[in-house]
Structure 1
């Protein structure tokens, strides 16, 4: 098996952020690589920017958007590498991220998916701020990993962007094009059921950008995300029905179904999903409805569960809305990210700043050339 890595990047109307991502990918120390960008219905200057600044990139163009899952499938279809890396168009990574991931993957036991490190970052008041780095356990059961994907309140220590995927997996598995939310958890889960085993290694560093736009291209509005979430949990309720060895996932699955029931109960477009969600909840051992995530106070948990079961979902929402007005709001997540505190943080800040600056320099140079060309033509 060769070791060429194909980096697949779906993008939609984010030319400026995509430029930063491509500068970052070009800076990777891994030499044997190709870049595939799937332009998914973009109406900005993405195509011209790619042609001018990144002519070596392999481009797939969808004239109208098909969503991130379809875009990734299209990228895989034209990729020539034995390994696939999925990069989001608004993120960055340490220059040795791919090289370290490849080395760790080649050193791992057969049938392993090695998950590396990641951390959130943002540019706040011209300064770079971070969350602590996260990575998953070096050894964990497949069931524990599936629970992390299914439990709606679980700490996420695995993302599709911290894994180097074997190309052969996509001969039998593809991204689910009916999902544009939780689609990465779905793929990871199906990879596990296909016989692959996720292990964590303290290697690489993937920088996940925190900003006001959707985390993924074309993530849709809140209603669509709720509908995709419901589809995800209904799909996995059906998948795990045929895998009795993963009955240990039942509690996490019930929590996901219950979360969808609560959130969709006041959404008109979600009414058709309610009977299916309720039936799946009962099938997986749900007897009485309960509030999830559960309030910290035992008294509040009992009160919420009682209101839900006696008065229904609308009464619960009214109660939660009233409690939200009285509760002191937490600081927005962006405000909780912290300035670099040690040498590793400062190194990460250096590389992020470098990529951001180089992308801006490229943009300025292009504008200058365009101005000169326009003046010469007059």
Structure 2
């Protein structure tokens, strides 16, 4: 339930920060928000634990600034996880706009003022996305971007291609738009941001990109949910397949699948199926991705048959997996690499 608030005390921006036992990183993240060039904001830290003394000490320090609010997730929801904590924070947010900031990301000082100005200048926009630069220990003024942007790129296609042009902390959302599409899917165990942004784009929410770096995404650490071991476990369980299927269903039901997007989604379906099998998942789990792609005509019949046969006959010969090699040679898998994206871009140009 959304807590009613006095419009006179409504901040321009609410920043929702879910956290779980990462006190030093949380301190840096919230401090980057409090250091913004605009002051009309609130920070809602939602603790998915509640018993971590280090986190409570950090909150006690940060609470000296009256714009910081603290919530224990377990007092508001039974189920844990990043998606639930974001929903708890969203329910208690009072701002006209919302930003979901991961507890290990950093906002640059001009971030909120710049995004808010673009959003308020066009009442038809539902959200505005800033550019990101990954980092390890401290943001650097130079280095590769999260993703290079083209002015005419199709963001929905990129998400379907599993090459998202932004991540969770990228968009500043108009509150009314979030009320329209609903909160984060609490039934997902992985791929929350993938499904969430696909749902927003499938719903036709208008957005703008600011091609200026205004935040930093911290590369995965050993204690990160995005660590490689967690990544393998999620693929083995089929968690990413489930998120892909849900996302594709959103796009299909909204009738937003043109030939180029369908092509991209078909290759992603094969890739998710391959990753599932490669990390020890079952044939049945992997097939869910292929079945969804076939259901929405993202794979031709012969492609579906070839991919299904490879998924069924998944064997290893030393370090070699013949099925994976076959799918690669047939062009049914576009990996999330520069060469893979280049091939995908060249392929979809024929559909424009």
The TM-score range, normalised by the shorter chain, is 0.7 to 0.9
Question: 269-278 or 204-213, which moves further after superposition?
Answer: 269-278
The answer on whether the counterparts of 1:230 and 1:277 sit within 8 Å (CA) in structure 2 is yes
1:202 aligns with 2:203: no
* Higher radius of gyration, 1 or 2: 1
**54, 57, 74: which one aligns with 1:49:** 57
The answer on whether the counterparts of 1:120 and 1:207 sit within 8 Å (CA) in structure 2 is yes
1:279 aligns with 2:291: yes
Aligned to 1:256: 268
The SS at the match of 2:56 is: helix
Deviations 1:49-87 (A, max 9, x none): 244202232111124761111110110000000100111
The SS at the match of 2:187 is: coil
1:85 aligns with 2:104: no
1:166 aligns with 2:167: no
Aligned to 2:249: 238
1:6 aligns with 2:14: yes
The answer on whether the counterparts of 1:70 and 1:177 sit within 8 Å (CA) in structure 2 is yes
The SS at the match of 1:265 is: helix
The answer on whether the counterparts of 1:122 and 1:130 sit within 8 Å (CA) in structure 2 is no
Q: 1:61 to 1:317 in 2, by over 3 A?
A: farther
Instruction: Give the drift of 1:47.
Output: 4.2
Instruction: Give the drift of 1:92.
Output: 0.9
Unaligned stretches of 5+ residues in structure 2? 1-6, 326-336, 338-352
Select the structure with the greater relative contact order (CA < 8 A; seq sep ≥ 6).
1
Q: 1:66 to 1:129 in 2, by over 3 A?
A: same
**209, 224, 227: which one aligns with 2:234:** 224
The SS at the match of 2:315 is: helix
The SS at the match of 2:169 is: helix
| TM-score normalised over the length of structure 1 | 0.69
Deviations 1:4-31 (A, max 9, x none): 1001000111011101111111111111
In structure 1, C-alpha distance between the alignment counterparts of 2:92 and 2:152, rounded to whole Å: 34
| TM-score normalised over the length of structure 2 | 0.74
In structure 1, C-alpha distance between the alignment counterparts of 2:200 and 2:218, rounded to whole Å: 26
In structure 2, C-alpha distance between the alignment counterparts of 1:274 and 1:306, rounded to whole Å: 10
The SS at the match of 1:313 is: coil
Q: 1:317 to 1:110 in 2, by over 3 A?
A: farther
Q: 1:131 to 1:317 in 2, by over 3 A?
A: farther
Unaligned stretches of 5+ residues in structure 1? 291-304, 325-332, 334-378
The SS at the match of 2:288 is: helix
Instruction: Give the drift of 1:180.
Output: 4.1
Larger proportion of helix: 1
In structure 2, C-alpha distance between the alignment counterparts of 1:272 and 1:309, rounded to whole Å: 13
The answer on whether the counterparts of 2:283 and 2:312 sit within 8 Å (CA) in structure 1 is no
In structure 2, C-alpha distance between the alignment counterparts of 1:79 and 1:229, rounded to whole Å: 29
Instruction: Give the drift of 1:314.
Output: 2.0
1:191 aligns with 2:200: yes
The SS at the match of 2:234 is: helix
Aligned to 1:73: 87
Q: 1:109 to 1:79 in 2, by over 3 A?
A: closer
The two structures, once aligned, show a CA RMSD in angstroms of 3.5
Aligned runs of 1:345-364 on 2, under 5 Å? Answer: none
Q: 1:41 to 1:217 in 2, by over 3 A?
A: farther
Q: 1:158 to 1:22 in 2, by over 3 A?
A: same
Question: Number of paired residues?
Answer: 304
Aligned runs of 1:321-332 on 2, under 5 Å? Answer: none
In structure 2, C-alpha distance between the alignment counterparts of 1:149 and 1:38, rounded to whole Å: 28
The answer on whether the counterparts of 2:11 and 2:42 sit within 8 Å (CA) in structure 1 is no
Deviations 1:199-250 (A, max 9, x none): 2123451111124236558994522255221001211333333233423321
Aligned to 2:334: none
